[in-house]
Chains A and B, each alone.
Chain A
């Protein structure tokens, strides 16, 4: 928990100042309680909870305590919901070597385990595309469902796609309720309690990096990763959107993302874009770099390169 000032809440021109919102919330409490008895799931606290930036540090603590209690009830084991703030002077970046990826999907399942994605309905934050070497990067001929005995398959190359943590993120722009935003370290996060499930962000994202919980997420209790982050891998409810956060619960503690550690070929590189000594900066300065859908001006912090 930090006392670092969060960025300002809704600007005035967006309408709805906190006090008005609080008044309405109070007035609606009685109605809300009536509705809640009819709706399944969700506590009064959750119903009355405000957007993340409007919470005071004390309120965040209350929220975390409530979430930890709820997860405990649901999974029968203790879950730590962290709230590590962004580290000043850090902007995370990612580089992936297209010449080395063999399409083994180890990253996909390491991500699922680390980030508590729903097993059924299945959610994968990383999608590995198989493409023909002869055609180059051409998503009209990309197959994410390849199922070979052994990879890499002759004449093919592989391109894992996940959230590009854009500097100009279309998903953030279209969110009607500001349930998703860019953190100062470049990670785009989702407030799962504020998301209304409209899925505009999914339509806006050119990388297919956002995923919707169409059903109640299932997560076997034994497979729950108890080290979570409030804006990252804590268990999600049904009806909200989720996405890759570069493993916010790991990277803000100095660890590499789970996909980097799982990759058997060293295809994945991660580091601070503002540090000239970092691995990503070396790649950007010495290798041939490819930016996926660069023409859309999303300005990704995720780069593909050709390292061989």
Chain B
């Protein structure tokens, strides 16, 4: 209990860059896509006893259906049990939600490598200047990361066909 607290304090003092064990890198990301009104998680969890048993959630968060290696993982593999406002790397280090790419990159290292250089994922901004990155979670739901199919925009009109149906061809 005390050891855990000390570790946590140390982690806080060292800051996120050192926690990740990597040199400080600057990725401009928009705020993480947390459900409206749900953060800080500690607002509810602070007064609750930590239940480390793996189980199906029934009272709260039951809308989350884990489809992400669900046979092997559950909530507390990624969410820090003792600090619900942060995420937890496999080594026990805590990181903020805006650094979640470090967590994803533990398994998906090749994607993290491509993401850092701007090849995996979407970049906006300036090709020769500052770029806006997106977090993994902006495009992939961390609980069910497969990209969802979407409705395509309308197909082009065929040659000789009017843009608006029923209209004569350009005359």
Interfacial residues, chain A to chain B (CB-CB below 8 A) = 90, 102-106, 108-109, 119-122, 124, 127, 144-152, 214-215, 251, 254-256, 260-261, 263-266, 269-272, 278-279, 282-283, 286-287, 307
Interfacial residues, chain B to chain A (CB-CB below 8 A) = 114, 117-129, 139, 147, 149-158, 162-164, 170
**B155-A146 in contact (CB<8A):** yes
In the bound complex, how far is the Cα of B138 from the Cα of A264, in angstroms? 10
Residue contacts A-B, CB under 8 angstroms, 7 given: A108-B156, A124-B156, A145-B155, A147-B155, A255-B125, A278-B127, A279-B123
Apart from the given pairs A256-B123, A307-B119, 19 other A-B contacts in the complex at a CB distance below 8 Å: A104-B153, A105-B152, A106-B153, A120-B162, A120-B163, A120-B164, A122-B156, A127-B156, A150-B151, A152-B149, A255-B127, A260-B123, A264-B139, A265-B147, A266-B120, A269-B118, A278-B127, A279-B118, A307-B114
**B149-A256 in contact (CB<8A):** no
Q: Report which residue of B122, B150, B152, B154 has the largest number of chain A beta carbons within 10 angstroms of its beta carbon.
A: B152
**B121-A103 in contact (CB<8A):** no
In the bound complex, how far is the Cα of B156 from the Cα of A147, in angstroms? 10
**A102-B127 in contact (CB<8A):** no
Given A307-B114, A307-B120: A149 in contact with B147 (beta carbons within 8 A): no
**A256-B125 in contact (CB<8A):** yes
In the bound complex, how far is the Cα of B47 from the Cα of A106, in angstroms? 46
In the bound complex, how far is the Cα of B120 from the Cα of A283, in angstroms? 10
**A266-B139 in contact (CB<8A):** yes
**A119-B163 in contact (CB<8A):** yes
Residues of A within 8 A of B122 (CB): 263-266
In the bound complex, how far is the Cα of B150 from the Cα of A144, in angstroms? 17
Nearest Cβ distance between residue A73 and chain B, in whole angstroms?
A: 23
Residues of A within 8 A of B153 (CB): 104-106, 108-109
Residues of A within 8 A of B155 (CB): 105, 144-147
**B117-A282 in contact (CB<8A):** yes
Residue of A nearest to B148 (CB): A150
Residues of B within 8 A of A269 (CB): 118-119
**A150-B163 in contact (CB<8A):** no
Residues of B within 8 A of A279 (CB): 117-119, 123, 127
Residues of A within 8 A of B150 (CB): 102, 104, 150-151, 264
In the bound complex, how far is the Cα of B19 from the Cα of A254, in angstroms? 35
In the bound complex, how far is the Cα of B153 from the Cα of A144, in angstroms? 12
Residues of A within 8 A of B125 (CB): 255-256
**A151-B152 in contact (CB<8A):** yes
In the bound complex, how far is the Cα of B150 from the Cα of A151, in angstroms? 6
Residues of B within 8 A of A150 (CB): 149-152
